[in-house]
C-alpha cells in the first residue's frame, strides 16, 4: 500500500481484535480506489460514532467525523447533502445501529441516501463490556442478560430489504480480501449501501468456532437484482450463513432529488 491511510494514534483494541481486519480491508479498498483514479483522496470521508469499532476513525488518515452514539447516519446524510462530490463511509456497531440508531437506519434506507454504511456486528455491546444487542442470539448471557436473553434476534438484512435499501450485503471481518471487494462495490453503488460485517469479539463473545463451518460465499451466478430471491436468501441463517451481495438495484438517490 503506497498511500499512508494510518494515523499515529495508539490502537487500543484488544490484541487480535477483528476490528484490525476491518480497518485493513477498508484501507486497502480506499487505497486501491484512489490509485485507480475512482476517487480523489480529498473527497473521501469516514464517519463513526461510539463503540469499539467506531474507534476506527482515530486510526484513519483521511477526512473523518466522529458523531454521537447511533447518530452516524444523520451526519453522513448531512455531509453528502452538503457536498455530493464526497464519497461518504460510515462505521457503527450492532448495538449502536440496531438499538440506539435504528430509526436513522430505517430512514436512510427508505430515502436511498447515497452513503456507505458498514456495521461491525459482533452481537453485543463490546465497549461497555458485554450487554445484549438486537442481534445477540436468544439465550445470550451477558452483563444485561445474566440468565440468557429471552428475545429473538433481529435480521438486519431482511429489515433493510423490506425498507427499500438498494445495496444489501454481508461480509466476514476475517476474510479481508472479500470484505475489501464488498466495500468497493458498496462505494461504487449509487444509493444507500448497507453491509453487515459479522465479526467475533474475541474477548467477550468469541464466535470464531461457530462461524468457521457456517459461513460461505454466494456464488457468482447469484442474481443480485431479484428481490424475492434476496428476501428468501437473507433468511438463511441457521447451519449455514451466506456472505456476499444479496441485492443491488439503481433508484434515484435522496441527494439527487434534493438538489433538483
Ligand atoms: Fe475488539 Fe471485543 Fe476487544 Fe472490543 S472488546 S476491542 S470488539 S475484542
CATH number at residue 95: 3.40.50.970
Which helix or strand (DSSP H or E) is residue 244 part of? strand 241-248
Q: Closest Cα to atom 1, ligand 1: which residue? A: 17
Q: Which pLDDT does position 164 carry in this prediction?
A: 94
Q: Closest Cα to atom 7, ligand 1: which residue? A: 201
Q: How many structural domains is the chain composed of?
A: 1
CA distance 193 to 204: 29
Which helix or strand (DSSP H or E) is residue 91 part of? strand 87-93
Q: Which pLDDT does position 238 carry in this prediction?
A: 82
Does 39 fall in a domain? yes
- Which atom, in ligand 1's list, is nearest to the CA of 129? 5
What contacts 75, CB < 8 A, 6 or more positions away?
Answer: 47, 65, 67, 90
The C-alpha cell at 58 is 482515530
Does 1 fall in a domain? no
> pTM of this prediction?
0.96
Does 11 fall in a domain? no
Does 9 fall in a domain? no
- Which atom, in ligand 1's list, is nearest to the CA of 53? 7
Q: Which pLDDT does position 228 carry in this prediction?
A: 97
Q: Is 199 in the pocket of ligand 1 (CB under 6 A)?
A: no
127-130 long-range contacts (CB < 8 A, ≥24 apart) are 127/50, 127/51, 127/52, 127/93, 129/204, 130/204, 130/205
Q: Which pLDDT does position 3 carry in this prediction?
A: 86
Testing ligand 1's pocket by substitution, the residue of 202, 205, 206 carrying the most ligand atoms inside 8 A of its CB is 202
**pLDDT tens digits for 23-47?**
999 999 999 999 999 999 999 999 9
- What is the β-pairing status of strands 87-93 and 193-198? unpaired
Q: Which segments of the chain have a pLDDT < 70?
A: 1-2
Q: Closest Cα to atom 3, ligand 1: which residue? A: 14
Q: Is 11 in the pocket of ligand 1 (CB under 6 A)?
A: no
Q: Which pLDDT does position 259 carry in this prediction?
A: 85
Q: Is 106 in the pocket of ligand 1 (CB under 6 A)?
A: no
Does 150 fall in a domain? yes
- Which atom, in ligand 1's list, is nearest to the CA of 203? 8
Q: Please tell me the distance between residue 203's alpha carbon and the centre of ligand 1 in angstroms.
A: 6
Does 208 fall in a domain? yes
Q: Is 22 in the pocket of ligand 1 (CB under 6 A)?
A: no
Q: Please tell me the distance between residue 67's alpha carbon and the centre of ligand 1 in angstroms.
A: 20
Q: Which pLDDT does position 88 carry in this prediction?
A: 98
Does 100 fall in a domain? yes
CA distance 127 to 129: 5
Q: Is 126 in the pocket of ligand 1 (CB under 6 A)?
A: yes
* Domain of residue 195, residue span: 19-259
Amino acid at each position: 500500500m503506497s498511500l499512508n491511510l494510518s494515523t499515529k494514534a495508539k490502537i487500543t483494541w484488544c490484541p487480535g481484535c477483528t476490528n484490525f481486519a476491518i480497518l485493513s480491508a477498508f484501507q486497502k479498498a480506499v487505497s486501491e480506489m484512489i490509485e485507480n483514479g475512482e476517487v480523489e483522496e480529498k473527497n473521501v470521508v469516514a464517519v463513526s460514532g461510539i463503540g469499539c469499532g467506531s474507534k476506527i476513525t482515530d486510526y484513519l488518515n483521511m477526512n473523518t467525523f466522529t458523531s454521537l452514539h447511533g447518530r452516524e447516519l444523520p451526519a453522513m446524510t448531512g455531509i453528502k447533502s452538503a457536498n455530493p462530490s464526497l464519497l461518504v463511509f460510515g462505521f457503527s456497531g450492532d448495538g449502536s445501529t440496531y438499538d440506539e440508531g435504528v430509526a436513522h437506519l430505517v430512514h436512510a434506507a427508505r430515502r436511498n441516501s447515497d452513503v456507505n454504511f458498514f456495521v461491525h456486528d459482533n452481537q453485543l455491546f463490546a465497549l461497555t463490556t458485554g450487554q445484549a444487542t438486537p442481534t445477540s442470539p436468544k439465550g445470550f448471557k451477558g452483563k444485561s442478560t445474566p440468565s440468557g436473553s429471552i428475545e429473538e434476534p433481529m435480521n438486519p438484512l431482511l429489515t433493510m430489504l423490506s425498507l427499500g435499501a438498494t445495496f444489501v450485503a454481508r461480509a466476514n471481518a476475517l476474510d479481508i480480501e472479500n470484505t475489501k471487494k464488498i466495500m468497493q462495490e458498496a462505494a461504487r453503488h449509487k444509493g444507500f449501501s448497507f453491509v453487515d460485517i459479522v465479526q467475533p469479539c474475541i474477548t467477550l463473545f468469541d464466535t470464531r468456532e461457530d462461524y468457521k463451518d457456517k459461513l460461505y460465499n454466494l456464488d457468482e451466478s447469484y442474481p443480485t437484482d431479484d428481490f424475492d430471491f434476496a428476501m428468501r436468501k437473507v433468511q438463511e441463517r441457521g447451519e449455514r450463513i451466506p456472505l456476499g451481495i444479496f441485492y443491488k438495484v439503481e433508484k434515484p438517490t435522496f441527494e439527487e432529488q434534493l438538489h433538483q
